[in-house]
Amino acid sequence: MTMRLAIQGLGPVGGFGSGTAALERALVTAASCPHLTPVPSFSADTAGLEAFVERKTLRRMDHFSRMAMLGAFLALEDAGRLTAGRERLGLVLASGYGAARTTFAFLDSSMDHGDVCASPTSFSTSVHNAAAANIAIVLDLHGPTITVSQFELSVPSALLTAGQWLTAGRVDAVLFGSVDEFCPVIEYGLQRLHADQNPPPPQSSPGGTVPPGEGAVFFLLTRVGEESRYGVITDIRLGTVANGEPRIATDAVVVVNDQRGAMDADTTAPVPAPAPPRAVSYTPVYGRLPVGPAFDMAIAALACRHGLTAATRNHAEPAAHPIPPPSHLLNAPSITCLVLGRDNTFGLITSSGRG
Amino acid sequence: MTSAQPVPITGLGCLCAAGPNLSACMQNLFGGMRVPRPPSRFSTTHPVRFPVFEIMDDLPLPGAGLSRTCRLALAAAHEAVLDAGLPPDLLRGQRVGVCIGTTVGCTFNNEEFYRDFRSGGSPAPELVRRFLQSNPASAIAREFDLNGPCQTLVNACSSGTDAIGIAADWIRSGICDIAIAGGADELSRVTYNGFISLLITDSAPCRPFDRDRKGLNLGEGAAMLVLESARSASGGNRPPRATVLGYGLACDAHHLTAPHPDGAGLKRAMHDALAQSGIDVGNIAFVNAHGTGTPDNDRVESGVLAEMLPGVPFLSTKGYTGHTLGAAGAIEAAFTVACLTAGRIPASAGFVTQDPALPVSPVRTVTAVRTRAAMSQSLAFGGNNGVLVIGGSPA
């Protein structure tokens, strides 16, 4: 759907650190390195949250909610709206798997101590919308709040509703965020599925896919009208890869979200993206996670604002979609973030610096 | 919010413990039938067998191999599409949106898998595959070969209400011309244990708004609405069953599991839903309340109803269905449409003794209502409040 949404603030949190400067640094210097235990993954640190929220408030908050909350505060701070009125501010959150670790912590409580001793705290914080609720409580945000879970398409799907709210005047601004956490149980299942369907060819090296990641990215979105700090989202589309779809402008740079390793082989279509250098992938900067397209959106936003300097890769695998030289991004009239979902579905978010 | 175009509801589908389809549900609701019983598909080590509202296992469901939540969603979607008179061929490959609310349906919490994993085993990934194939919105889109936006809302217990309101907004905005919207959730041992751990489950059949209420009973089910743009609906063979007039949602920002004591978020959601509907409070014939039977929910809701809609009859249908979580708002929206069509509402099951602490009480008997419009509302964990204003058939 054609929309015009202005990005006023960014709050990225991931294995690269937190804040726009950390993300830019990772893009430029390849400073984001996966941790090696328990399995290689990009883990996120939320220590920075204590600059915004008292420690006692965080006492019972799980890692999932903390990542989201840090992203939300960073986006508001980046937009210069930490203290602005929130009466007509909506909150839309996307998550592929929700608070997975807390979900299993709840199961631990009943498996370890019996059903009678199941933990009420773990149960209430394991619901998918717990992060949005915690953000609303801490920010005193009374506007509309939703959480969307559509696996790899969670971000474009949720963004569609955020855009609709703004376009229809339901709110004046949306804190649009995404969060997913690394969970060894789910990662094990994904890897088993992938391995079963994609037996490695003889003598191939392991790690042909990007390591899993975790983190949150938040955006403060408004209608176009006031000056946009990070360019404008011009198009959000979801659909099925068929009959020439998704159609992408011939002069756009396409950021392809690489979810290989997280999906059944028989549910994904070939990438309908142009060849390099117009197609790029930044997944190795933040890791593989369902809400990865939000990180791509953030990188596109930085490109729109700064003419983002080109990144380098820290992933050993040869680049399927190499990152282009900066001049190429600067010359592109638009950047399209593309993600493929199950059942040959796609999500597409296009931004432009020329709002 | 400013008033917005009504969105025609052209098809309805519903299954829950009250019945295997919407017609049977309404027959049982008006007949005062309810069948709470101990769970039959799982066991626990609780000393008390808290009753639930289950769908009978002999009910055939489509979608073999998918999660039960998905299969319930598919059954309701088939009924709704048939009710709308939409041949599946007409939908195939078209830009039809799907917006579904759920809670259990998006959570990977399989105990068998996890028990094996945490004990150092190597559980087979089939349960993970089934989970990944069982996103409710995607499953419906796949079943009907749709090519529109898909969204699964996980707003806890207001998910079904929110899914319908958001899909109506999609129709108004031209994001799609047709949408299948609703909610689905299965009974799960995990949520059963969870709600018991929170001490908000009644060991007897639930008693919404009753003086002696002790909490909720869980249920399972699904309901789907087919929404169409005015242009699309007028091209069909049947007049709309009803219309979505307005939708409001707001957050309490108060507590993860308890409603705001003054119902601040609910009031705002009601206000916004009414504003979008463009109708006055006086045109609301009845309210299908959230009415879980928990002391907190019913106290807050009754206070807000007394303040915002004085004298308007209301009921809780959870005495017939149990609390179906992400499906509840959709099931109750379907019941609301059916009641508007019937011109009457059933007795609020489980309500016997007036609570002197509540300013208003639900209806005790089948009650005739005017058919102009009605409200269906949901309150949820996380402080979410979703409210739909539904108009009767223009015919």
Cβ A137–B162 below 8 Å, yes or no?
no
Cβ B106–A149 below 8 Å, yes or no?
yes
Nearest to A103 among B109, B133, B154 (CB): B109
Nearest to B173 among A139, A164, A242 (CB): A164
Whether the CB-CB separation of A42 and A15 falls below 8 Å is answered with: yes
Mean pLDDT for A260-276 is 54
Of B63 and A328, the structure prediction assigns the larger pLDDT to B63
Domain covering B8-392, topology: Peroxisomal Thiolase; Chain A, domain 1 (3.40.47)
Q: What is the three-class DSSP state of A320?
A: coil
Q: Which residues of A touch B251 (CB under 8 A)?
A: 91, 133, 136, 141-145
Task: For residue B136, give the nearest of B220, B87, B71 by alpha carbon.
Answer: B71
For residue B93, the chain A residue with the least C-alpha distance is A240
Q: Is A87 on the interface with B (CB under 8 A)?
A: no
Of A312 and A294, the structure prediction assigns the larger pLDDT to A294
For residue A107, the chain B residue with the least C-alpha distance is B111
pLDDT in tens, A97-133: 999 999 999 999 999 999 999 999 999 999 999 999 9
Task: For residue A283, give the nearest of A5, A25, A34, A4 by alpha carbon.
Answer: A34
Rounded-to-integer distance, Cα B46 and Cα A52, Å: 42
Q: Which residues of A touch B252 (CB under 8 A)?
A: 136, 142
Percent of chain A with pLDDT over 90: 58
Whether the CB-CB separation of A98 and A183 falls below 8 Å is answered with: no
pLDDT of residue A311: 45
Mean pLDDT for B286-307 is 98
- For the ranges A326-340, B196-210, B249-263, which has the lowest average pLDDT? A326-340
Position B3 confidence tier, pLDDT thresholds 50, 70, 90: confident
Q: Is the pLDDT of residue B266 over 70?
A: yes
Mean pLDDT for A298-325 is 59
For chain A, positions 336-355, list CB contacts with chain B under 8 A: 341-343, 345
Question: Rounded mean pLDDT of chain B?
Answer: 95
Of A318 and B219, the structure prediction assigns the larger pLDDT to B219
For chain A, positions 278-337, list CB contacts with chain B under 8 A: none
- For the ranges A79-88, B228-237, B297-306, which has the lowest average pLDDT? B228-237
Domain boundaries along the sequence of chain A: 2-198+205-352
Rounded-to-integer distance, Cα B228 and Cα A140, Å: 36
Rounded-to-integer distance, Cα B159 and Cα B325, Å: 8
Rounded-to-integer distance, Cα B164 and Cα B160, Å: 7
Q: What is the three-class DSSP state of A167?
A: helix
With residue A177 as reference, give the H or E element that holds it.
strand A173-180
pLDDT in tens, B182-198: 999 999 999 999 999 99
Between chain A and chain B, how many beta carbons pairs sit less than 8 Å apart?
226
Within B66-119, residue ranges assigned H as helices are 68-83, 88-91, 111-118
Of A274 and A213, the structure prediction assigns the larger pLDDT to A213
Task: For residue B153, give the nearest of B177, B132, B181, B194 by alpha carbon.
Answer: B181
Rounded-to-integer distance, Cα A123 and Cα A118, Å: 8
Distances (CA, A) of A119 to A122, B115, B201, B321: 5, 17, 15, 26
pLDDT in tens, B349-395: 999 999 999 999 999 999 999 878 999 999 999 999 999 999 998 65
Percent of chain B with pLDDT over 70: 98
pLDDT of residue B84: 95
For residue B247, the chain A residue with the least C-alpha distance is A170
Position A315 confidence tier, pLDDT thresholds 50, 70, 90: very low
Overall size of chain A counted in residues: 355
pLDDT of residue A279: 80
Position A270 confidence tier, pLDDT thresholds 50, 70, 90: low
Phi-psi region of A139 (alpha: psi -120 to 50; beta: other; left: phi over 0): alpha
Tokens of B330: 């959709």
Mean pLDDT for A216-232 is 92
Rounded-to-integer distance, Cα A208 and Cα A38, Å: 18
Q: Is B274 on the interface with A (CB under 8 A)?
A: no
Of B4 and B166, the structure prediction assigns the larger pLDDT to B166
Cβ B197–A123 below 8 Å, yes or no?
yes
Tokens of B181: 């919207």
pLDDT of residue A261: 52
Most confident of the ranges A58-62, A188-192, A257-261, B286-290: B286-290
Cβ A115–B196 below 8 Å, yes or no?
yes
Q: Is A269 on the interface with B (CB under 8 A)?
A: no
Distances (CA, A) of A283 to A256, A319, A339: 8, 10, 11
Is the dihedral angle over the CA atoms A35, A39, A44, A50 positive or is it negative? negative
The gap between the terminal CA atoms of chain A, to the nearest Å, is 17
Rounded-to-integer distance, Cα B53 and Cα B319, Å: 9
> Testing the interface with A: which of B50, B197, B266 to mutate, by most A Cβ within 10 A?
B197
Task: For residue A263, give the nearest of A186, A325, A148, A177 by alpha carbon.
Answer: A186
Rounded-to-integer distance, Cα A236 and Cα A256, Å: 15
For chain A, positions 197-216, list CB contacts with chain B under 8 A: none
Rounded-to-integer distance, Cα A93 and Cα A326, Å: 31
Task: For residue A349, give the nearest of A278, A294, A271 by alpha carbon.
Answer: A294
Cβ B154–A148 below 8 Å, yes or no?
yes
For chain A, positions 32-61, list CB contacts with chain B under 8 A: none
Mean pLDDT for B220-235 is 85
The architecture CATH gives domain A2-198+205-352: 3-Layer(aba) Sandwich (3.40)
Mean pLDDT for B119-128 is 92
- Helices A184-197 & B126-133 angle (0-180, nearest 10): 100
pLDDT in tens, A139-180: 999 999 999 999 999 999 999 999 999 999 999 999 999 999
pLDDT of residue B236: 56
Rounded-to-integer distance, Cα B17 and Cα B56, Å: 7
- Helices B111-118 & A100-113 angle (0-180, nearest 10): 80
Cβ A150–B132 below 8 Å, yes or no?
no
With residue A208 as reference, give the H or E element that holds it.
none
Rounded-to-integer distance, Cα B84 and Cα B11, Å: 4
Q: Is the pLDDT of residue A36 over 50?
A: yes
Question: Rounded mean pLDDT of chain A?
Answer: 84
Rounded-to-integer distance, Cα B217 and Cα B317, Å: 12
Å between A198 CA and nearest CA of chain B: 14
ipTM reported for the complex surpasses 0.90: yes
Mean pLDDT for A310-329 is 46
SS3 content of chain A, % helix, strand, coil (to 5): 35, 20, 40
For chain A, positions 207-266, list CB contacts with chain B under 8 A: 238-240, 242, 263-264
pLDDT of residue A30: 55
Q: Is the pLDDT of residue A265 over 70?
A: no
pLDDT of residue A333: 84
pLDDT in tens, B23-56: 999 999 999 999 999 999 999 999 999 999 999 8
Q: Which residues of A touch B109 (CB under 8 A)?
A: 103-104, 106-107
Cβ A1–B256 below 8 Å, yes or no?
no
pLDDT in tens, A54-68: 999 998 899 999 999
Rounded-to-integer distance, Cα A305 and Cα A9, Å: 11
Rounded-to-integer distance, Cα B89 and Cα A60, Å: 51
Rounded-to-integer distance, Cα B80 and Cα B99, Å: 14
Position A319 confidence tier, pLDDT thresholds 50, 70, 90: very low
Q: Which residues of A touch B263 (CB under 8 A)?
A: none
Query: Which residues are CB-neighbours of A192 under 8 A, at least 6 positions away?
Result: B122, B124, B125, B128
Half-sphere exposure (CA, 13 Å, Cβ side) for A242? 13
pTM strictly above 0.80 = yes
Nearest to B256 among A124, A150, A160 (CB): A124
Q: Is the pLDDT of residue A310 over 60?
A: no
Q: What is the three-class DSSP state of B295?
A: helix
Rg (CA), chain A: 19
Rounded-to-integer distance, Cα B184 and Cα B377, Å: 17
Whether the CB-CB separation of B339 and B286 falls below 8 Å is answered with: yes
Tokens of B123: 């559980």
Å between B87 CA and nearest CA of chain A: 21
Q: Is A106 on the interface with B (CB under 8 A)?
A: yes
Domain boundaries along the sequence of chain B: 8-392
Tokens of A54: 């008292």
CA B107 to chain centre: 18
pLDDT of residue A206: 39
